[in-house]
Amino acid sequence: MNCLFCRIIAGEIPSSKVYEDEYVLAFRDIDPQAPTHILIIPKTHYDSVMDAPPEVVGRLTETAKKLAVSEGLAEKGFRIVVNTGDEGGQSVKHLHMHLLGGRSMQWPPG
Ligand code: AMP
């Protein structure tokens, strides 16, 4: 298995887990870009959002919303990001949603 996030799901690589259920794993980003920076991934491998069915994307979004509440981000606001493909800045080719919060976000993103 050469997918980094599949190896995290399998427990071969440690992660700072914040949530897990039958379908989804969420863990803290190793290189946080905000005070709270969590990655939410499906346990089934999809290279990107382009390959994933709507229910999978919905589960990631619903998990991000729950974590925004439990991490204390919901009131002030937060950002969810799904980098896709090379020009989208996707470095890990396993679908993942970034949940970022705890500071004011800039727009446009770089
Ligand atoms: P992206 O650039 O959108 O593909 O996001 C990949 C994210 O994975 C980056 O924010 C990395 O910091 C993060 N990352 C890479 N390796 C690990 C790891 N072992 N544990 C947690 N986060 C990681």
Closest CA to 73 of 52, 104, 41: 104
Active-site annotation holds for 45: no
User: From ligand 1's centre to the CA of 97, what distance in Å?
Assistant: 10
Q: What is the mean pLDDT of residues 62-90?
A: 98
At the second CATH level, the architecture of 4-101 is 2-Layer Sandwich (3.30)
Atom of ligand 1 at shortest distance to CA of 14? 19
Please give the distance, rounded to the nearest whole angstrom, from the Cα atom of residue 30 to the centre of ligand 1: 6
Confidence at residue 64, expressed as pLDDT on a 0 to 100 scale: 98
- Specify the pTM: 0.98
Residue type, 77: G
DSSP letters, 66-96, are HHHHHTT-TTT-EEEE---TTTTT--SSS--
Q: Is the CB of 30 under 6 A from ligand 1?
A: yes
6 lines ligand 1 (CB under 6 A): no
- For residue 78, give the amino acid letter: F
| pLDDT tens for each residue of 3-59 | 999 999 999 999 999 999 999 999 999 999 999 999 999 999 999 999 999 999 999
Domain ranges across the chain: 4-101
* Pocket of ligand 1 contains residue 83 by CB under 6 Å: yes
